[in-house]
Amino acid sequence: MKVAVLLGGTSNERPVSLVTGDAVIKALRETGHDVTPIDVGPDIAATIASLKSAAPDVVFNALHGPRGEDGAIQGVLEWLGLPYTHSGIRASAVAMDKGATRILLAAAGLPVAQGRVVTVEELAEADPLPAPYVIKPVAEGSSVGVEIVRAGDNRRAEIAQTWRFGKDALVESFIPGRELTASVMGDRALAVTDILPCETAAFYDFEAKYKAGGSRHVVPAVLPQAVTDRALDYALRAHQALGCQGASRTDFRYDEKTDTLIILEVNTQPGMTPTSLLPEQAAYCGIPYPDLCDWMVREALTR
C-alpha cells in the first residue's frame, strides 16, 4: 500500500512530530508499505503538491499541535479526497479546543474539573478560581504553556503579561492525585497507565512527556478494578462523545482520598514516539508497534 506520512508541521510540537513520524515511517516500511515522508512546513501549497506527487492510497497524519490535529490539515486531506488516519475535521477541531471539549464531555455525563475560559485581561486582574488552579492554552497539546498557580503564588499577573497563546486561557481547579491515561483503538479501550513524573518535574509537563527519563509509566496501573473499569469506560465514552475515529487517548487525574476521577483532555493524535503511551498500551494488549501503525492505515481505509 502507498502511504504518505505527514510529519513536522509548524507548531510548538514540531520536534515531537518529527520523532513520531520517523518511528511511524520505519514501522510501516517494516510491515511492507511503500512510504513517502512529507515534512509539512508553512507553505501549504508545497504540501499539497507533495501529496499529489506521491498519490498515496492513504495518509498517516503524524502531525501534532495546531494545524496538525485541529481540523486544518484534515480539511486539506478531505478536499484532496485522501483517506487519513485519526479523527476527522469536527472531532479534531473540538478536541483541540479545550473549552468546547469540556462542554461536550459534561453534556455526555462525563466528569470534568470546575473551570472556565477567561480572557487574558481577566486573568491579569484577579484569580479566576480559588487556588490552587491550572492555567492552560485553549488550543495547544503536550502540556505546552500549562501553569499551576498555588496558594500564596504571586505569578498570576506575570503569566498573564507574558501569555503567548491567544487572547483566552482555560482555567481549571487543580485536582490532586495520580496522573492516569487510557487509550482507545476503534471501539476498544486498551489499558490504564499510571504516569509518574521524575522527582524534579513540577507535573507531567513537556519535558516529562518527551525527555528520556522524564517520567515512568506503569501499565497496567495498580488500581482497584472498579477504578480501572471506570477509566476505560470514560475513555471509550469520551472517544464516542467527541466523534473520534481511529485511536485516541484520554488523560485523567485520580484523587484516591475522595475516589474522584476527572477527565483532563482527549487527544485525537496520541503521541507515537518511543516513550509514548498509546504504543505502550497496545504492546501490553499484544499489539506490537508496527502492527499498531498498520492497523491505523487500514482502519482509515474502511471509513
Check if 29 is active-site. Answer: no
Check if 69 is active-site. Answer: no
Structural domain boundaries in the chain:
2-86, 95-112+176-287, 116-167
Helix (H, G, I), strand (E, B) or coil at 260: strand
> pTM above the 0.85 mark?
yes
Which CATH architecture best describes the domain 2-86?
3-Layer(aba) Sandwich (3.40)
Burial of 254 (0-12, 13-18, 19+ CB in 10 A): buried
Active-site residue among 69, 179, 265, 294?
265
Check if 249 is active-site. Answer: yes
pLDDT tens digit sequence for 156-194: 989 999 999 989 999 999 999 999 999 999 999 999 999
The CATH superfamily label for domain 95-112+176-287 reads ATP-grasp fold, B domain (3.30.470.20)
8-17, 140-149, 207-216: range with highest mean pLDDT: 8-17
The reply to whether 95-112+176-287 shares the fold of 2-86 is: no
Q: Based on C-alpha coordinates, what's the Rg of the chain?
A: 19
pLDDT tens digit sequence for 51-100: 999 999 999 999 998 899 999 999 999 999 999 999 999 999 999 999 99
- The neighbour count for residue 2, using CB atoms within 10 Å, is 13
Active-site residue among 17, 142, 215, 276?
142
Check if 265 is active-site. Answer: yes
Active-site residue among 8, 13, 67, 97?
13
- The H or E element containing residue 117 is strand 115-119
Is 6 in contact with 63 (CB distance < 8 Å)? yes
